[in-house]
A and B are shown apart, each in its own frame.
Chain A
Amino acid sequence: MILKFFFRKELKRYPFFFLLLFTTLLLGTLGLVGISVVSSEVQQKLRQSANELLTSDLAVSARRELFPAEQEALQKIFLKYPHGHYKIIDLYSMVTNVATGVSRLVEIRATGTGFPFYGRLETDGDPFQSERLFISDDLRNLWGIGAGVSLKIGTLTLPTAGVVTHDSSQGLRGFSLAPRIYFPLNRLEETGLLKPGATGSFAYHYKLVDPSEEVLREIKLEVYAAIPDSAVKITFPQDTSDQTARVTNTLTNFMALAALIGLILSLVGVFYLYQSHLLARLRDLCLLNLYGLSKLKLVGGIIAQFSAVFALVMTVELLLIPVIYRLLAPVLSRNLGLDLGTQVNLLGAAREIPLLFVLSLLILTPLLLGLLRTPMGLQLKAQKLALGRFRFFDFLPFGFALWIFSGYLARSFKTGNIFFGSLILVFLVSTAIVKLGQWLLRRFIQGDGLLTPTIECGVALRGLTRSGHKLTLSFLSLAVGATLISLILQLDKMILTEFAFDAKKPSLFIFDIQEEQLEPFQGLAQANASPLAFVTPMIRARLEAVNGKKFERKKKDFDFRSREEDEDTRLRNNGLNLTYRSYLTDSERIVSGEPFPAGGAPEGRLSYVSIEKRWSERMNVRLGDRLTFDVQGVPFDGVVRNIKEIKWTSFYPNFFVTIEPGQIDAAPKTFLAILPQGPLPVKLSLQRKTIEAFPNISFIDVGELVAKLSVLFERSRQAIEIISWLSLAVGLVILYGLSHDQVYRRYYDLALMKSLGFSSRQLLLNLLYEFGALFFAAMSLGLFLGWLIAQLIGREVFKLPVSVDWARVFYPAILLSILCLATIFLSSWRAVRAKPRELLSDS
């Protein structure tokens, strides 16, 4: 009987309610479930190819060559474990096409015999051999070259043996800084690139006969015991796939947050729909209670009903997703540079669905508690039915779950908190605006007359001032949707601005200049009419201790690790590059503390240290802290004098840590410099002459890098934008639901107005004024808040000044207006045809 009541009868009597509930939930959850499936597909793909990505069972690596004692220790450890091994050195350097004289930066992967233990390298001709020079597909496309072409790397010239068309160790193609070339390790010495301080990674790869987890863990402990330097790390296949997955995860996490807004909007809709529905069904529910069905059973029935709809939504989604995925897989594969199959494993969604269900159900808690509080016997005698009131505290479980869910989806407590905080801000501001607007309107319509200025408008204004929380809900859902769209568009503008190759950006970023090369290199540049700027020393170091407390290797082993914890682990385990200089560049700004005093650090006083703000937060370092660095085996102490912000996208030589000149100047170092923009022939000639004279010095073409980064950001932005439009679609469905429900609830009001003399046109105008004003205010607020949040992000992330792009405010406003007015018109149409006859007692 209960099943019959809550399912068959309900569905038959209220098909529109169920259709709207279904659509709202479908649109609200589709984004999140879809992202979850794609993300899990990418991770699964990476996990499956974890060994191929690393090419071995484990690697011991550092951003320096291992010291002889460390190499000896490794040999001793691995004697116990039957194994094969090879070495890989990855470094960036310039390569020159001897035939054309054209040079560019490449990633040199110098591999020893036996590479790779796992995975494959497909070529366009002769099979891959680690003793010969191969180039990647990217370089072939850039230069239009193949086998047999002479390339000069450092001081050595070698012919290319072929083109690697597929490298299973490259996780996400297209995300690397420069195209790769495969170089014979045994000839790397001859290039002269392995100078002290050269930027590279030195890795010893091992393939074990027994690569079981116990053996790997044992080796890890032994290596860490024998090599205490935290700059030396052990990498397992899983770590490599995790590292690659991090790139896609960051993107999918932000997409998930955009999709979460869609879900929240849809849940607002679900709440509203159920509220109206329960009110419409209250008399029947009271009757059921009268005949013995307890309130708890009634609530159980509603939960079962909602669960059934949710299950249906998920079933439809899981049927839809493989079809959509099949269509999107080629695009995803191309954009991620990862070969994803067209078959999708729907288990990827399994993790998210229960959470979505709990969150969706929790939004109904206040209504269900309200139902439990309803005096049902009295309702049957009452003239007007009323659901028991729900209280503020009833929303707390939902709020708490949402907060947890935000952090979980963003995989970052900080981002989750910012997101949740922004939502609270939008909620508070929206509520305040609604209340303020109602107060102002009340003052405006004070007096007896309804003609303010016309009767349609006057009645609409009164509707606006006297509607309660439903008005706030409608306003909120619209404002959140508009905020999101505005935010995305403004961020887009920032990305375009930030990654535009403007006159302020350098033409070349130059690195790996050895100490002894500095003077002659500067002379060469001067003679070439291309003087260098911002010549900056770079010293390799590692933070050893803060206020005497040592930094330890840190790695948490449980499943969920936030992005911050990941970064923290990486920062603590890795060394860092630092510089010394007394001045600030244009891209630096001190936010607390004092600048360095003039004259450098005298003997007898600790050197002052300037640190970057986010680094200081991550490492928990404050003004006045004493930092102990290990500068290539020599301890160096300094005191934090100031904390600064850095605009990294300036592409100038900037560092997390800057030391006051004086005591550190003698440390081994290399130099960085930039070449300001100038004529192209001068730039090319500088590169050519430098490679001839100083083959180890490398250049990053900033224009090329900026273009590459802007493409990557653009792809991410597009992905997030698609999800945002999905969220807006949810907002529109809710608007339709809200205005339709308002019209339904006020059907008798509208019929009555008709019986009193309102024409159809006047009724329509009345509704358009009321909903239009609501929409216009919500949209304006949303566009403003979106702009404001974008400015805050611009300020914090890109260090940009405040700016307004009116076109990006105006066009979405027009589009949103058209969409919303059409929605209002559609939902109000029925009201215009209201029949006053239905007001009579027998109707």
Chain B
Amino acid sequence: MSELTVVVENLRKGYGPGDARVEVLRGVSLQIQKGETVALVGKSGSGKSTLLSLLAGLDQADAGTITIANRNITSMDEGELTQFRAANMGIVFQQFHLVSTLTALENVLLPLELLRRPRASETARSLLEAVGLSHRSHHLPSQLSGGESQRVAIARALAINPSILFADEPSGNLDEETGEKVMDLLFRMVEATGTTLVLVTHDPELARRCGRVVHLEHGGLA
């Protein structure tokens, strides 16, 4: 049996005060193996993005536990969580989210230098080369196309060699052709590095490319 990367137990999360409160996750439990690629799918409001935000430590759960690489991230304070995320996780967002004042190369360098990784510059350059953007390394995000921006975001997410990569609708803001190319790249790199991938998508084609598809419905697994 493969090594477990993520263990989610009875996870609950709601938003809003009093009567207006909406329970988005109602006791989700889930296990993800190391190197597995998992697609979280479901209708809007089913809780898939909320689950991703909790898994990536971007938000705090109301109840339940999340264990990643044998560390319970739900019991960590904000500082510990930030450090843990910086060292173990990569995130690719639908809106790309590159730091607007940093070039493509600097965006990839940022997580490496935060962790004071040796040979950060070489790593960043080789990653940009791997995503086919070495010629655009000194361009600012405003000078890149959507597809290029997402490729930089993928390079940045993989720069620290994370044990797990989260992707939130990664092709959602790209046209079909570009999206397909960028996703090819994502899956190729994940496969090459053996990184665990948890991906939120509405796209059934994209979901089918993952090793496992997890359906969410009304805040629970379908």
Contact = CB atoms under 8 A, between A and B. Distances in A.
A599 to B, nearest CB: 76
A656 interface: no
A462 interface: yes
B186 to A, nearest CB: 16
A835 B121 CA distance: 29
B97 interface: yes
B49 A451 contact: no
A836 B169 CA distance: 16
Contacts of B121: 448-449
Interface string B97-109: 1111110011001
Nearest to A463: B101
Contacts of A759: 79, 82
Contacts of B114: 455, 756-758
B218 to A, nearest CB: 16
A841 B121 CA distance: 30
A467 interface: yes
Contact of A450 (B109, B125, B142): B109
Interface stretch (A61-69, A416-424, A744-752): A744-752
Interface residues of B, number: 46
A622 interface: no
A760 B85 CA distance: 14
Interface in A430-463: 448-451, 455, 458-459, 462-463
Interface string A812-843: 00000000000000000000000111011111
A760 B53 CA distance: 19
Interface string B73-111: 000001100110111000101110111111001100111
Interface in A754-769: 754-760
Contacts of B97: 748, 752, 839
Contact of B100 (A749, A756, A837): A749
**Taking each of A458, A755, A840, which has the highest tally of chain B beta carbons within 10 Å of its own beta carbon?**
A840
B52 interface: yes
B124 A462 contact: no
B130 interface: no
B94 A757 contact: no
B101 A467 contact: yes
B172 A841 contact: yes
A755 B109 contact: no
A707 B89 CA distance: 75
B69 interface: no
Contact of B82 (A458, A748, A757): A757
A381 to B, nearest CB: 11
Nearest to B84: A757
Nearest to A458: B113
A383 interface: yes
A449 B101 contact: no
A842 B120 contact: no
B115 interface: yes
A835 B59 contact: yes
A383 B173 contact: yes
A161 B78 CA distance: 88
Contacts of B50: 842
B49 A448 contact: no
B140 A466 contact: yes
Nearest to B49: A842
Contacts of A842: 44, 49-50
A455 B86 CA distance: 14
B146 interface: yes
Contact of A451 (B52, B82, B83, B113): B113
A458 B103 CA distance: 13
Given A754-B82, A757-B86, A841 B91 contact: no
A837 B58 contact: yes
Given A449-B113, A841-B49, A755 B85 contact: yes
A843 B97 CA distance: 13
Interface string A606-618: 0000000000000
Nearest to B110: A756
Contacts of A839: 58, 91, 93, 95, 97
B101 A462 contact: yes
A753 interface: yes
Given A756-B114, A759-B82, A841-B169, A466 B99 contact: no
A836 B91 CA distance: 11
A766 to B, nearest CB: 11
Interface residues of A, number: 33
Contacts of B106: 448, 450, 462
Contacts of A450: 102, 106, 109-110, 113
Contacts of B105: 448
A835 B57 CA distance: 11
Interface string B127-158: 00000000000001010001000000000100
A2 to B, nearest CB: 32
A603 B137 CA distance: 87
Nearest to B86: A757
B83 A840 contact: no
Contacts of A836: 58
B93 A448 contact: no
A261 B106 CA distance: 40
A749 B146 CA distance: 17
B168 interface: yes
Interface string B19-38: 00000000000000000000
B124 A448 contact: yes
B150 to A, nearest CB: 11
A536 to B, nearest CB: 69
Contacts of A455: 110, 113-114
Contact of B115 (A462, A754, A757): A757
A467 B100 CA distance: 10
Contacts of B111: 756-757
Contacts of A462: 101-102, 106
B23 to A, nearest CB: 16
A754 B173 CA distance: 23
B120 to A, nearest CB: 7
B110 to A, nearest CB: 6
B51 to A, nearest CB: 11
A837 B53 contact: yes
Contacts of B44: 842
Nearest to B173: A383
Contacts of B82: 754, 757-759
Contacts of B53: 837, 840
A839 B153 CA distance: 13
A44 B122 CA distance: 77
Given A758-B82, A840-B52, A841-B49, A746 B100 contact: yes
Interface in B147-199: 156, 168-169, 172-173
Given A448-B124, A467-B101, A757 B83 contact: yes
Nearest to B145: A383
A624 B102 CA distance: 66
Interface in A725-779: 746, 748-749, 752-760
A755 B78 CA distance: 11
Given A749-B100, A841-B93, A449 B109 contact: yes
Contacts of B173: 383
Contacts of A459: 99, 101-102, 110
19 contacts: A384-B142, A448-B120, A450-B102, A450-B109, A455-B110, A455-B113, A459-B99, A459-B110, A746-B100, A753-B110, A756-B111, A757-B83, A757-B114, A758-B82, A760-B78, A837-B59, A839-B93, A841-B169, A841-B200
The 8 closest A-B pairs by CB, nearest first: A757-B86, A448-B121, A841-B94, A842-B49, A837-B59, A837-B58, A757-B114, A463-B101
Interface of B: 44, 49-50, 52-53, 56, 58-59, 78-79, 82-83, 85-87, 91, 93-95, 97-102, 105-106, 109-111, 113-115, 120-121, 124-125, 140, 142, 146, 156, 168-169, 172-173, 200
Interface of A: 383-384, 448-451, 455, 458-459, 462-463, 466-467, 746, 748-749, 752-760, 835-837, 839-843
